[in-house]
Amino acid sequence: MARISITGGAGFIGSHLCDYMLSKGHQVICMDNFITGDIANIEHIRDERFLFVKHDVTNYIYAEGKLDYILHFASPASPIDYLNHPIQTLKVGSLGTHKALGLAKEKGAVFVLASTSEVYGDPLVHPQKENYWGNVNPIGPRGVYDEAKRFAEAITMAYHTYHGLKTRIVRIFNTFGPRMRINDGRAVPTFISQALNGEDITVFGDGSQTRSFCYVSDLVEGIYRLMMSEESEPVNIGNPNEMTVLQLAERILKKADSKSRIVFKPLPVDDPKQRRPDISKAKKLLKWEPVVSLEDGLDRTIEYFKERTKT
């Protein structure tokens, strides 16, 4: 049984990680300050192996006893969030990562960093492999998130090479599923919420920009396999099945049996035109690839949003 600390543990992905680690028999210390996390994501957990600590990880982190793994998942992660909280986004990617790495060094723990496909920016290489350095605008509106994560990767690798810390870096591509916030701002929850409420479905640009969508249980399985591996360099975890944003909107419209209409709005600044992971490394190294289809994942997510709408 390992003792695991998860920062951002009350967030969308973090809370699923808490559940998964507990299901594997581990102890979990969940940290969150609720800037974007939600107590509702973890209030179902009734387990003596689970401890919640309300804390801002940009401040000094203290934890009693041993820690075997530290998963640093604290960060605003949607464009709405990091545009509303630009300074906090930069701080959690820099100061927060530094504090979490310091704790890992003190405890001799394996450090797992939640990085992102956003480190590739608006990519000029497609699909994106881990050895691609990216095409990022550091002073654009998305720069606060992109550069925070790029810095987080850099300092994580510095701790690995200078201090010999055992580190893992997961580059997370578009992920969806239950516990996403209704007002999250990302495509899947926005389209589902609009479809269920009979509102116009807002597609940016002409909808030809592409994304690939990974269901959250597949992502969590990939993260766990990476955590248990010996790989210190970044690994893409995502679903390589690519589709346009307009196709996604049409799919959700049909699944929700909605009368909403699709309307088009101007494309945000620096919005990536293409986003699709090359997961060859994950397949070879971790024997991992996604198993949940987009159809099944959307069905589960729509049901979750229907239940949330009732309450």
Q: Which domain holds residue 232?
A: 3-176+214-240+277-291
The rounded distance, in Å, linking the Cα atoms of 108 and 38 is: 30
| Cβ(107)–Cβ(95) below 8 Å | no
| 145 catalytic per annotation | yes
Check residue 193 and give its pLDDT: 95
| Catalytic site residue from 145, 159, 215, 224 | 145
Q: Can you tell me which residue has the tokens 């807002």?
A: 202
Number of domains the chain contains: 2
CATH of the domain at 158: 3.40.50.720
Strand partners of residue 3: 27
Instruction: Give yes or no for a contact between 178 and 299, defined as CB atoms under 8 angstroms apart.
Output: no
Q: Mention every residue, 6+ apart, whose C-beta is less than 8 A from residue 211.
A: 174, 187, 242, 243, 245, 248, 275, 276
Residue 5: phi, psi to the nearest 5?
-105, 130
* Pair (132, 249) in one structural domain: no
Residue 182 within a domain: no
The series of mean pLDDT values per 10 residues for the chain, 311 residues long, is 98 98 98 96 97 97 96 94 94 98 98 97 95 95 96 98 98 97 91 95 94 97 98 98 96 95 90 92 98 97 90 57
Q: Are residues 121 and 163 in the same domain?
A: yes
> Looking at the structure, do residues 199 and 253 belong to the same domain, yes or no?
yes
Tell me: do 12 and 107 sit in the same domain: yes
Q: Are 163 and 262 members of one domain?
A: no
The reply to whether 170 and 202 lie within a common domain is no
How many whole angstroms separate alpha carbon 108 and alpha carbon 69?
9
Residues 148 and 265 in one domain: no
Q: Are residues 155 and 267 in the same domain?
A: no
62 and 204 part of one domain: no
Q: Give burial (CB, 10 Å; 0-12/13-18/19+) of 75.
A: buried
Within-domain flag for 181: no
Claim to verify: residue 37 and residue 72 sit in the same structural domain: yes
pLDDT at 311: 57
**What CATH number does residue 270 fall under?**
3.90.25.10
Q: pTM, whole model, 2 decimals?
A: 0.96
In a domain, 77, yes or no: yes
The verdict on residue 224 lying in a domain is: yes
Same domain, 126 and 200: no
126, 246: one domain: no
Alpha helices in the chain (DSSP H): 12-23, 79-84, 86-91, 97-107, 143-163, 187-196, 216-227, 245-255, 280-286, 294-310
